[in-house]
Amino acid sequence: MRPDRPHIQVLSPRTWGEFGNYLAATRFSRVLRGAVDAEVTLLEAEPILPWLGEAGAEIRTISLESPDATVRTRRYMALMARLQERFPSGFETDPTAAQITELAPLTEHLRSTAPDVVVGTKGFVARLCVAAVRLAGLRTRVVSHVTNPGLLQLPLHRSPHPDLTLVGFDWAKDHLLAQTGGDPDRVRVVGPLVAQHDLRDFMTSESAAPAAGPWGGDADSGRPRLIVFCNRGGDVYLELVHHIAAHHPDTDLVFVGYDDPDLARRAAAGAQRLTHWRFHSRLTQAEYFDYIDRASRSPYGLLVSKAGPNTTLEAAYFGIPVLMLESGLPMERWVPGLIHENRLGRACAAPDDLFHTVDDWLTHPSAIEEHKKAAIGFAESVLDQKAVARRIGDAVRPLLGAR
C-alpha cells in the first residue's frame, strides 16, 4: 500500500444472504479501484465482529428450515426486531455501555487501521461503523452501500448518519429520506451494480468434476435451455426438476445446487436417462462461461431460481429471462414488481404457479423469447455498468478530497 494514497475499506458480511452480499461487495470494490485514486481493501465483517456471523447462521437456518414463506417471514422479522432492540435508531450518536462493549473489536480495528473511508455493504454494518468511528475519535468517512434496496424497509438497515449512502434506484432514495429525514445531498442514486462475470469467483472451483462435453451438444439445439439455480431454495426445486424430466425431457437443463453435493445428487436421481442434462454443486470456470453464454444466445434461455434481486439483475444483464419463486423474505418483496413491470419474466407466489408456468412456457417457448427481448432492452437502458461506475466514483471522490 502506498502511504501517499488514501485508503478505503469495504466491510461486508459473508454469512448474511449466503454469498450474495459478499459478491456485491466484491464487485463494488473492483469498481471503486477503477473509479477513484485510492487503495481499496475488501474485508469480511465476521472475523471482526463474530456475533454478526451468529446472526448470519440464524438467517441461514431460517431460510432452510422454515416450512413456508409465512413462517420464514415471521422468523426473519423476529430476528431483525431483536437486533433492532439491541441497536435502536439513533444509537450511532449516543451508544450505551453495552453497545460500546459489543462494538469494541470494530472500534479497535478502525482505530488501528484508520482508513480514510469505510464502506458498509449492509445498512446495519454502516450504522455500526458510524458509531465505531466516533468512539475511535477518527475523521474516517462512512459510506453505506445499499446492495438490496428492499433492506431499507427494515429500520435496522437505514440511518441518516453515514456521510454518504449509495442506492440503485430513485424510489430507494425517496423511501430512505422519508423514513429517516436525512440530508438529500448525502444520498446518491448511482444505478444498479451487477457482478457480471465476478460471480465465477463464487460459483467455480478447480476441483469441480468437468461435465462430459458441451451443454446440449456442440451446436445450439433450438430447445429451451434452463438453468435451475438452487441457493437455499429447498426441495421445491428438486420436485420441479423431476417434473420437467417427466413432462419436458426434450429440454436442455443444468441444475446447480450451490455448495450442496447431496442436493445435486438428489436432483440427478430423477433424471438418469437424460444424459444431456447437467447437475453440479460447483462448476469449472469453462462450464460457468459455457452455460451463461449458451443460455444468453438461446432464444429460449431461462433462469429458474428464488426471487432474489441480484440474481434477477445478473440474468437481465446477460439477456436471460427469469422464472422465480418468491422467497418469503421481506427484503425481497420488491423483486416481483421489478420482474413484472419490466417484463423480465415471472415471479410466482406459490409452487403450484411455478409448475404451471414451467409447463406453459416449455410447451409454448415463444413466451420465453418475448421476455428475453424485454430483458435485453432493460439491460441496455438500466444496467449500463460504465455509467454506474462513473457515478460511484463521482460520489465517493469528494470524501477522499476531504481527508
CATH architecture of 225-383: 3-Layer(aba) Sandwich (3.40)
Q: Are 306 and 325 in contact (CB under 8 A)?
A: yes
Residue of 300, 291, 243 whose CA lies nearest to 267: 243
Q: What is the band of 24 on the pLDDT scale with cuts at 50, 70, 90? A: confident
For residue 45, the model assigns a pLDDT of: 95
Q: What is the pLDDT of residues 70-118, one digit of tens each?
A: 888 899 999 999 999 999 999 999 999 999 999 999 999 999 999 999 9
Distance, CA of 126 to CA of 12 (rounded, Å): 10
**Better-predicted residue by pLDDT, 389 or 212:** 389
Architecture of domain 7-189: 3-Layer(aba) Sandwich (3.40)
Chain region(s) in the chain for CATH 3.40.50.2000: 225-383
CA distance 142 to 127: 9
Identity of the amino acid at 264 = A
Per-residue pLDDT tens digits for 37-79:
999 999 999 999 999 999 999 988 888 788 887 888 899 999 9
Residue 134 banded pLDDT, cuts 50, 70, 90: very high
- pTM for the whole thing? 0.87
Contacts 24+ apart (CB under 8 A), 140-143: 140/110, 140/114, 140/115, 140/116, 141/116, 141/117, 141/399, 141/402, 142/117, 142/118, 143/117, 143/118, 143/119, 143/396, 143/399
State residue 220's pLDDT score.
64
Do 379 and 358 contact (CB within 8 A), yes or no?
no
Residue 245: pLDDT band (50, 70, 90) is very high
